[in-house]
Every structure is written in C-alpha cells, then in structure tokens.
Structure 1
Amino acid sequence: MLDIKYLRKNVLEAEQRLQNRGVSPDKLTELLTLDKERRDTIQSVENLKADRNAASDKIAYAKRNKEDASDAIAAMQKVSAKIKALDLRQTELDDQVQNLAAHFPNLAAPDVPVGTDEAANVEQRVWEPENYQSRPHALLESPEWLKAHYDVGEALGILDFERGAKVSGARFLYYVGDGARLERAVYNFMLDEHRKEGYTEMITPIVVNDSAMFGTGQYPKFQEDAYRVEGLDQTYIPTAEVPLTNYYSGETIPSDQLPIKFTALSPSFRKEAGAAGKDTRGLIRLHQFNKVEMVKFTKPEQSYKELESMTNNAENILQKLGLPYHVIMLSTGDMGFSAAKTYDVEVWMPQQNLYREISSVSNTEDFQARRMHITYRDDNNKLQLVHTLNGSGLAVGRTVAAILENYQNEDGSVTIPEVLQPYMGGQEKLVATPHY
C-alpha cells in the first residue's frame, strides 16, 4: 500500500512515477478527490460533534434552571441526524479510498529502468561454469540429440505428465523414482545452503486467509490466479512468501533483531489464468510446484544492501550446481505489483537456446509492511515500518528442468551435479528405468 500522505504532498511526482507503473493519472486524481472528501467529512463530523456537545450543555443548563429546553433539544436532534448521515458517508468513502488504493502498485526505485515491458529490462551480469563453452549444450546450433527437459524426463521414466493430467488435469505431473529423488535432493541442497547463509528454516501453513494474501499484494488484483477453498476465507499459497512475510503481521519487531531472514520449502499453487497457451509442456509453468523461498525483514537503510545479498544467495545455488545464468534488472513495466526493485535470475536452457526465469528477488520497501502493519522502533523510540524483501531460492521444478537439459548426455543419461550426489546416495547419473 502506498503512503497516502506522500501522494497528497507530491502529486506531480507521484503521477509520473505511477504512470511508469502503468497507472493512469485519472486514477490518482480520483483517489485524491475521494481522500479529500473523506477528510473534509471527518472534519465536518468533528465540528458537528462540538455543536452537539454545546447543545447538550444548553439542555442540561435549562433543565437545572427549570427552563424550556425544547429548542435546544430540537437543534441537537438535527445535529445528531447530520452526524449519522455523515458517518455513513465517511464509511462509504473509507471503503472507496481503501479499495482504489489497494489496486495501486508500488512505486519503482529511482534506478529502475523505465519501460512498458520486458524489452526495457537491463542485463546486470552473466555467469558460466569454467569450460562451459566447450560443452555441446552451449553451442548456438545444438546437436541433434539435445532434447527438451520434458522429453529427457519422459525418456528416463522419471517424469510422468500423462498420468498427472489423467488424475489432476493439465499442468500437473508425477515425479517417479529418481525424478522424485532428484527433486528432493535439489530442495534439500537449497535449504542447507540458505541455512549456512543465516536464514532460519521454516515450515509454513500452505493455506492462508484473505488478509494474508492482501498483505503481500496478491489480493485483490490477482485473485483470479489463486486456488481458493470453496466457502471459506482461505487460499492455497502461490508462494511461501505469503505465510513467511505475514509471520509478523500486526507486530512490532524488536529493532536489535533486524535484519531477520527466513527460508522455507513449500508447494505453490497457481492457476496461471493470465498465461493461457504459454509453456504448456514441461516443468516451467505448472499449477502445483515446489519452491524454496527467502524472505527478509530489515530497517529501511539496510534493505537495498540486503537485496543484493539475497540475489547473491540465489546465484550461489546456480553456481554450485554449475548452471549458467544471467541477472537482469526488471523495468517498471515488468516488475511485480508489490516490488520497488526486482532482479530476475534466469538460467540457461540449451535446448531452447534462451534464458528462463528461475528466481525473482524483490525489495518491496514498506509497501507490504504498511498493508500488514509490521513495525519496529527507531533510535528515537518512534514506530517505523520495516522493509520486506522476498526471492526464490530457487523454483525447484525449473532447477530440475535446467539440470536435465544442461547435464544430459548423448546416450540419453543425465549426469547428476556433483553437489547433489551426496543427497542421492552417491549416485552419479540418471539412466532410463522402466516404471508401471
């Protein structure tokens, strides 16, 4: 949620910054007009309550002196009726302001590139393992035997999309045998690495209430993408960011505990209603997938340093797995709703000959904390909003997809990255295994 005081005091600046995020100036005008009427209504009610108190004093005085108080009583009844009507209007205005403001995205940080879509994103850095260019996977013209990850997985018998669709519908699957072991190895490795980096591991609820979804910015705008529990104020989480960030909702965090770092593995559920026809095969865009999430709570002056650190934490996983990637800074038109600044980490997928997003790391500044009322006390003992950050560390299925493509061999086997082999009992390769 944006700071309404900032919007009032910096109308032209706010208008431009919101335009950069795709918000029409008319929407800001509408919001500020409603906000002014709301504040004027509050002031009118306060004035009328003062008049009512004065009338009440007159009535009491008249009664004490056994005088006629009928005129004063009639006047007070009129004032009370006006107050009641204005109170109702104030409630309406409060709801209208809240609803409109809830649809405003966060303002971008000053160094975020301005643009309407991903074309304005800016590459920050590229990383490749040593000697990667000598691998056949790195060639611009891939060898004929190089397969897409879903074909590799199906040929090995470790990914079963057909039975997943039979049981649950499109974009669900079974991991089978070594596929399940590989997925488990990947997320256990990630959690262990993040624990080394100072993150506290959590196991969170996978069902949250609407208030939690509102707090992180998924509601109300993206409600159509959510899997809701019918008849209840509950939603299956689209990411562990939601329960992790809401852990401190409505609380004041002791200043000396900041920054706080959480990590969690969870299933994530997304209808992907706005992505019809995209990535319909494979592990890239599923309705249910595992993800290791990172979340931080910081003081404002720490948050951008922590953003760089969190991005490096995601990169560390890819580097130890030996997977090529690059980091891009997203433009104002490509960032998520709650983000003030976002880095996407994109892993190289050799069969597609392109990079695919595997982690998105964002600083939301105080946008989420204002919605969730998460505060700390500064050096002057004054309550301030914390800054919150979140990032994938990483999307597990996409990591498996990248391993299958980057480590596949001409004979159809897949070499298991060295750091994962201890998690798989020392196994070095995935080979075709029949299953029933």
Structure 2
Amino acid sequence: MIDLRLLREDPDVVRASQRARGESPDAVDALLAADEARRAAVQRFESLRAEQKTLGKQVAAAKGDEKAALLARTKELSAEVKAAETAATEAEQVLRQANLVVPNIVEEGAPAGGEDDYVVLREVGERTQIDNPRDHLELGEGLRAIDVERGAKVSGSRFYYLTGVGALLQLGLLQLAIQQAVEVGFTPSITPVLVKPESMEGTGFLGAHASEIYRLEADDLYLVGTSEVALAAYHSGEIIDLSAGPLRYAGWSSCFRREAGSYGKDVRGILRVHQFDKVEMFVFCKPEDAHDEHLRLLAWEEEMLAKVEVPYRVIDVAAGDLGTSAARKYDCEAWLPSQQRYRELTSTSNCTTFQARRLNIRYRDADGRTQTAATLNGTLATTRWITAILENHQLPDGSVRVPKALQQFLGGRDVLTPS
C-alpha cells in the first residue's frame, strides 16, 4: 500500500512507476479519485456530527416552540449523520480497494521493462565446463538422492522425494544457512505455513500472484509460498522498537506454490515444484536504512553461494518483473552446465513501507512519533540449490564432489558416489 501523502503531493511519481512496470497509470487516477471522495465523505460526516453536538446543547437550553423546532431538526440531523457515517465507511472501503490495486513505487535506478530487460551487475566464478554434463535429475537418481517417479505416484506431477544423501544435502544446506544468519545477528524462526487471508493480503500476494497460492477454503487459510508472509505478519498491528537497529529474522519453512501457468516449463527434476523448503531472511527497519540493508541482504546471499562453490551472476530485475510489493529486486542466478544458462537461486527485495503500511507495523522516531516501518526479504537457501550443487560438482563417473562447507552435514564425505 503506497503512502497517500506522496500520492497527493506528487502523483506523477506513482504514474511513472506504473509505466516503468508496464502497467496503466489509470489505477493511480482511480486511487486519487477514491482518496478525494473519502476525504469529502469524512468531512461531511464530521461537519454533521459537530452540528449535532451543538444542537444538543441548544435543545437543553431552549423552551416552548423553539425547543420543538430544535427537536425536529435533531431528528432530521440524526438520520443525516447516520447516512453520512455509512457513506464515509463505504468510501474508506473503496479507497482501500483502490490502494490495494496499485503496486509499490519502483525505486529510482531500477531498470524499466519486462522479464528480459534485467541488467547483469556482475558474474562471479568461471562457468563450469563439462563434456556431456549430466543434469541434476540424472545425477540425483544415480545417487539415490532424488525420486520424482514415486513423488508423482504419491502426490502428482512436480512432487518428489529427497532420500538418503539428498535429504542430508538439503538439511545440511538449510542448517548452513541458519548458522550463517545467526552469526550475523538474525533470530532463527520456524514459521507457520498456514496463514490468514489478511496476512497474505498484507504482504501483497493476493493480487497478481493469487493464482500461485494454495487455499484451504474450508478453513479460510492459505499455504505460504514463502515464510516471508508469516514473518511479515509476525509484528502486524504492533509498534516495534527499532532504536537499536533493524529487526532481522531467518525463517525456515516448507513452501507451496501451484505453479499456475508453468505447464510444460521445467518439468524435469526439481527446478519448478509445488513444495520445497527454504530459509528466508526478513528485516524490519527504518525507511531511510532500507536501501543499505538491501545491499547487505544481497551480500549475505552471495556469501552463502560462495560456500557451496557454484558460479553465479547477480542481476538487477526490471520493473515489469517485480512483485507487487517490491520496489527493487536483485536475483542471484547459478550456472547450470546441463542447460548452459543461469537459473535463479536467490532473490532479495526492498519492499520499503508497502507491506508494513498494509499490516500496520510502526516504530517510534527520535521525537516519539509513530512512523511506518520498512520491510525487506531475501532467500538464503532453498531446495533448488541442490540442482546447482549437483551439476557444478559432478565428476565423469556420476559422482558428485561435496563442497567443503557442507561436508560436516554428510558424515564428513567429500564425494558422493552412485549406488
């Protein structure tokens, strides 16, 4: 939800953001109209309420015909006040819905355009060159680490089992991520995977991405696609203490995505699946600190990628490919030898005050006044990383070298050999 004061003072900034995203600025004009209508409705209600209070005092002091006339006006005014209150409530609801339609304002400097208009900021490590590379599924099946056949038998397409060293690899990867997060001051958290509609809406996932979400209609709950949702809503309706700096949480959860519209894409292996595990960084901070905090999250993601020893690149995601809540997003994409291309492993977004305004999360400034906090998120490890680890560390016989940082979680083994 964007700041209405900014909208009133400089609507062209919001219109420019819409154009950068490739969306119509008409939603901005609709929001301006709704804001004006709501203010007019509230002003009328307050004016009638003031008149009602004044009239009440006059009635108490009046007598005879004057009192009778005042009582008649009081009756009329009571009906007008009730109608004005209803109109103000309805105008507030219209305003909220209009505001929910407008995505976050794109940060200055983000590339304009769509999915293919990203900017490569840097490439780290040499692209792994292997003659006739096996893909992650062939390697995983050889190691008896991945079983998609039985996953499909039990649950359907895009489900899988991680077994043996595959399970250990994921658990080790996520534990390594939690260890790193704790070392730099994050509070570890195992979050709920079912959330209320207001939590999902508050984080911005019930708009353009609603088709990606699993919903349990009987309970009116949603399965999260990321622990970002539960972490963002953790402090909803609260005034948090940011006097000592940002609040940082690292959430471990299973995540669920319908992958609507992705039929035919990445059907092989575990690149695009309905269920996976992830460690997500989430930060609450003052708005003026959000830009620098975003770069810290990116640096921590790159630190994790260095630990698993895979080549990757960092891209500045174009405005048209940003989620509803994000003002700026950086992705880290690992090189996959079998595909001869980079594929996303991490994403970090600066959501500025957009989510916190929806969720009513505030802090007190130096003068004791309440202000809206900023929120940020970033992936620290997820199941998909296994694809890049297996492919980049494969050996000619189908064995896979274990990155040194992960060896402690696999019984000290430095090589995984096919069964």
**TM-score scaled to structure 1, two decimals?**
0.92
DSSP 3-state at the match of 1:119:
coil
Does residue 239 (structure 1) correspond to residue 226 (structure 2)? The answer is yes
Q: From 45, 64, 76, give the equivalent of 1:78.
A: 76
Give the unaligned 5+ runs of structure 2: none
Tell me the residue number matched to 1:338.
325
Note the C-alpha offset of 1:69: 3.2
Matched ranges for 1:29-428 at <5 A: 29-62=29-62, 65-67=63-65, 69-115=67-113, 117-128=114-125, 132=126, 138-139=128-129, 142-144=130-132, 146-395=133-382, 397-428=383-414
* 2-structure distance, mates of 1:173, 1:24: 40
Contact 1:23–1:104, Cα closer than 8 Å, also in 2: no
Contact 2:178–2:188, Cα closer than 8 Å, also in 1: yes
User: AA paired with 1:4?
Assistant: L
Note the C-alpha offset of 1:319: 0.8
User: AA paired with 2:295?
Assistant: E
* 2-structure distance, mates of 1:275, 1:180: 26
User: AA paired with 2:391?
Assistant: E
DSSP 3-state at the match of 1:275:
coil
Note the C-alpha offset of 1:113: 1.3
Note the C-alpha offset of 1:360: 0.4
Q: What CA deviation, in whole Å up to 9, does each residue of 1:127-180 have, x standing for no partner?
A: 10xxx56xxxx33xx522x11111221233221111111111111101111111
* 2-structure distance, mates of 1:119, 1:238: 24
User: AA paired with 1:59?
Assistant: V
DSSP 3-state at the match of 2:313:
strand
User: AA paired with 2:276?
Assistant: F
Note the C-alpha offset of 1:230: 2.7
Q: What CA deviation, in whole Å up to 9, does each residue of 1:75-119 have, x standing for no partner?
A: 22222222222222222221111112112110111111111x122
Q: What CA deviation, in whole Å up to 9, does each residue of 1:1-46 have, x standing for no partner?
A: 1011111121223212222223322221112112211111111112
DSSP 3-state at the match of 1:102:
helix
| Shift in alpha-carbon separation, 1:285–1:69, aligned structure 2, 3 A | same
Note the C-alpha offset of 1:122: 0.8
Q: Provide the identity percentage.
A: 38
* 2-structure distance, mates of 1:383, 1:428: 53
DSSP 3-state at the match of 2:191:
coil
DSSP 3-state at the match of 2:371:
strand
Contact 1:160–1:173, Cα closer than 8 Å, also in 2: yes
* 2-structure distance, mates of 1:196, 1:279: 35
Contact 1:157–1:176, Cα closer than 8 Å, also in 2: yes
* 2-structure distance, mates of 1:85, 1:352: 64
Contact 1:126–1:327, Cα closer than 8 Å, also in 2: yes
User: AA paired with 2:144?
Assistant: G
* 2-structure distance, mates of 1:332, 1:316: 26
RMSD: 1.7
DSSP 3-state at the match of 1:273:
coil
Contact 1:216–1:245, Cα closer than 8 Å, also in 2: yes
Contact 2:45–2:88, Cα closer than 8 Å, also in 1: no
DSSP 3-state at the match of 1:381:
coil
Give the unaligned 5+ runs of structure 1: none
DSSP 3-state at the match of 1:362:
strand
Note the C-alpha offset of 1:194: 1.8
Contact 2:173–2:381, Cα closer than 8 Å, also in 1: no
Q: What CA deviation, in whole Å up to 9, does each residue of 1:367-393 have, x standing for no partner?
A: 111111112211122211221110000
DSSP 3-state at the match of 1:274:
coil
* 1-structure distance, mates of 2:288, 2:4: 21
* 2-structure distance, mates of 1:8, 1:274: 37
